[in-house]
Structure 1
Amino acid sequence: MTTPKILVVDDVEANRFALRDIIRQAGYTPVLTESGMQAIKVLERTQIDLVILDIAMPEMDGFEVCRQIKENVRTREIPIIFTSALDNPQDIKQGFACGGADYITKPFVPDIVKARINIHLKLYETTRQLQDMNHKLQLSVIEQLRRVENEKRNVLYALLRVARENAAYDVAHMERISKNCRVLAETLQLTKEYADLIPDAYVDTIELAAPVCDIGNVAVPTEILQKTDRLTPEESRIMQRHTEVGERILQGIDDEEQGNDFIQMSRDIVKYHHESWDGSGYPTGIAGEEIPLSAQIVNIVTAYCALTEDRSYRSAFSKEKAVEILGEEAGVKFNPALYDVLYMIKRQLV
């Protein structure tokens, strides 16, 4: 273990040497300085465990030195013992007010100085150990939460793979949804209307959550998902249930995982990504800004991705044609402001 270093700050040589000898007798390493400026420079380059600081010094008094030490994040936890030839209650009060830990008077009594040094070094070491333990505990908790979150995300993605296979979607389809949602969200960040609603963490989260949109398809019969003809009214009702099924899947996880942005956004997307701007969508028929922004983004992006991919009953549309078709539904199915941004960035979409 490294021997603790004690910084002595006093403009009187006799006082510095007296404290030097006492510190050595106590088994510690003294570092001597004769001014506040010297002390600050030493603290910048040397690991110090305790400061013994004279109050009455020219140019920079002990109170100012103490304030500067306490304002520095790297040194503010170092205990400071003030020294003075005067047993002035006002000095003692001011010393404690600016961050001092203790106070000793001159002339120095070696046994008292040693006792104070030992007490504050032990307190300082104990504090550092507690801080280190707390830091390690926080890292451990964060890591455990991250593992739990990843495990739950993996379960969702496993269910999503089943839903994707049932609907005959390939991996590229889900990747396009993720990437295009990210591109659209990043661009919305730059607009006056949405800048405050979309922080960087939101962009990262929607990229991860967007592919979960149709996880409820695990409960829809494959023959309906892959049907090329128009669905019957009953088949349409069954198909529309996938939003509620998906929401129930996520609800159980959300109840256990309060505060998890990924799960909460996924839940909004799954339930509301088929809602329409004019209120004609499903499952709840909400309209306009009642629809969560994440669901609005996924709604228009999934429609774009569907139009630009081959289907058994038609070939893929070009980007330009797909965006033109979406424009016919702006203000009806889609938020017109989102459509305007999508139109502006159509060349960036994949």
Structure 2
Amino acid sequence: MQQGAAQQTKTVLVVDDTPANLVVLGELLMPHYQVRVANSGPRALVSAASEPLPDLILLDIMMPGMDGYEVLRRLKDDPRTQHIPVVFISALDQIEDETKGLELGAVDYISKPIRPPIVLARVRGQLELKEARDLLRDRNEWLEGEVRRRIRQYQRIQEISVRALASLAEARDNETGNHILRTQGYVKLLAEELSKSPKYAALLTPKTIESYTKAAPLHDIGKVGIPDHVLHKPGKHTPEEWEIMKSHAEIGLAAIRRAIQDEDDREAVDFLYVAMEIAGNHHEKWDGSGYPQGLAGTAIPLSARLMAVADVFDALISRRVYKPPYSLETAGRIIIEGRGAHFDPDVVDAFTHCIAEFRAIAERYADKESFVEAP
């Protein structure tokens, strides 16, 4: 009883231009299945796309106007019907006719005149196969969804862990977590703006921009290795202290390198290689006067050139022990004045195109006291 009830829930669409054939197949199938009929190709297409979709289509080949082959082509082209199995039923019994039907995507071929037991057995077999395929497809879709969910979860945990690690360095420097959020947003903005240029379009792909954005919070991770008396000194550093302070770039680069030196799957930690570039080079200057290596121009990694603008801009608008915060306008002017000297000219040009977006990020993640014009 349960198997019969399950069969009755299956729908079979019978397509034939001869009324007598529709009657014969209908009477044969109706005790076992829900049956729909169509007497032409166009009507078959309409019925096949109507809810509930049929579970199986029995399709005559020789029909006027639109033959069965064309009907099958159109069914396969429609995402709504492409998975419905089609069985050809035809008086054409040459091997080439059957071959053509199967090559077009039919799952079976029954020759006329039909033999009822054969038709019922073939229909039952194809419906069972479809049910198995549907279950497998649903299972695969669920698994793909679960994999996507787990990947998103992993990425979120990764981002939170990186931000927490970066916050340790910021906390030692008396900065706020908002500095991390602001500079991360600035780097993303600059990279996206620069990617619009033909010069950078091939390099700054969405994946690369994502790596830059994820790596940005680790730019000052090396500050965890700077002694407190140097890091927190309220006044001007002595030359010796300044050399110690500058070493945070090399400390950060070395720390990240040690963390990934035994990692074989580069793609899994790709952003950490970018973080290593940023941490070690974001204090280099376009004219070669920066530190720690005195790199100049394009010898400085692009990620670090982006970070340089982001970091300096945020330092200018933020309060430090040695200065009050500058206004957004003053900070923007200083960045522009540094074009070609401190900063990559292309990055500064990108900055000038998205100053409004910089302001929005600065205001969204503002510290308590910000944007006050320095005396």
Q: Does the pair score TM above 0.5?
A: yes
Q: Structure 1 residue aligned with 2:110, among 104, 114, 124?
A: 104
- Tell whether 2:203 aligns with 1:194: no
Native 8 Å contact 1:214 1:242 kept in 2: no
Q: Structure 1 residue aligned with 2:315, among 284, 292, 306?
A: 306
Identity %: 34
Residues 94-148 of structure 1: CA deviation (Å, up to 9, x unaligned): 1112111111011110111111111111111111111111111122222223323
Distance 2:258 2:180 in 1: 19
Quote the residue 2:158 is aligned against: 152
Cα 1:104–1:200, aligned 2, differ >3 Å: closer, same or farther?
same
Quote the residue 1:79 is aligned against: 85
Native 8 Å contact 2:226 2:245 kept in 1: no
- Tell whether 2:7 aligns with 1:7: no
Quote the residue 2:144 is aligned against: 138
- Tell whether 2:260 aligns with 1:251: yes
Q: Structure 2 residue aligned with 1:319, among 302, 319, 328?
A: 328
Native 8 Å contact 1:330 1:339 kept in 2: yes
Native 8 Å contact 1:181 1:301 kept in 2: yes
Distance 2:266 2:74 in 1: 44
Native 8 Å contact 1:243 1:272 kept in 2: no
Amino acid at match of 1:153: E
- Tell whether 2:48 aligns with 1:43: yes
Shift of 1:189: 4.0
Q: 3-state DSSP class of the match of 2:83? A: coil
- Tell whether 2:169 aligns with 1:167: no
Native 8 Å contact 2:253 2:277 kept in 1: no
Amino acid at match of 1:56: M
Distance 2:238 2:115 in 1: 96
Shift of 1:9: 0.5
Q: 3-state DSSP class of the match of 2:199? A: coil
Distance 2:281 2:246 in 1: 16
Quote the residue 1:64 is aligned against: 70
Native 8 Å contact 2:222 2:248 kept in 1: no
Shift of 1:93: 1.6
Shift of 1:18: 1.1
Quote the residue 2:237 is aligned against: 230
Aligned residues: 349
Residues 7-53 of structure 1: CA deviation (Å, up to 9, x unaligned): 1110001111111122224x211111101101111122131111110
| Bigger mean CA offset, 194-203 vs 123-132 | 194-203
Distance 1:327 1:112 in 2: 82
Shift of 1:165: 0.7
- Tell whether 2:85 aligns with 1:91: no
Q: 3-state DSSP class of the match of 1:8? A: strand
Shift of 1:243: 2.8
Shift of 1:282: 4.5
Residues 188-244 of structure 1: CA deviation (Å, up to 9, x unaligned): 344443345445565566444422322232233233222332253441453332331
- Tell whether 2:352 aligns with 1:343: yes
CA RMSD of aligned residues (A): 2.7
Quote the residue 1:34 is aligned against: 39
Cα 1:75–1:287, aligned 2, differ >3 Å: closer, same or farther?
farther
Shift of 1:264: 5.2
Runs (5+) with no aligned partner, structure 2: 1-5, 363-375
| Bigger mean CA offset, 162-171 vs 251-260 | 251-260
Native 8 Å contact 2:252 2:276 kept in 1: no
Native 8 Å contact 1:319 1:346 kept in 2: no
Distance 1:290 1:116 in 2: 70
Shift of 1:263: 4.6
Q: Structure 2 residue aligned with 1:54, among 57, 60, 72?
A: 60
Distance 1:342 1:236 in 2: 28
Distance 1:64 1:261 in 2: 50
Shift of 1:278: 4.2
Amino acid at match of 1:148: Y
Quote the residue 1:21 is aligned against: 27
Quote the residue 1:293 is aligned against: 302
Native 8 Å contact 1:56 1:62 kept in 2: yes
Q: 3-state DSSP class of the match of 1:316? A: coil
Distance 1:56 1:211 in 2: 68
Distance 1:328 1:215 in 2: 28
Distance 1:66 1:57 in 2: 13
Residues 161-184 of structure 1: CA deviation (Å, up to 9, x unaligned): 211110111233223213333333
Runs (5+) with no aligned partner, structure 1: none
Q: 3-state DSSP class of the match of 1:130? A: helix
Cα 1:32–1:125, aligned 2, differ >3 Å: closer, same or farther?
same
Output the TM-score relative to the length of structure 2. 0.83
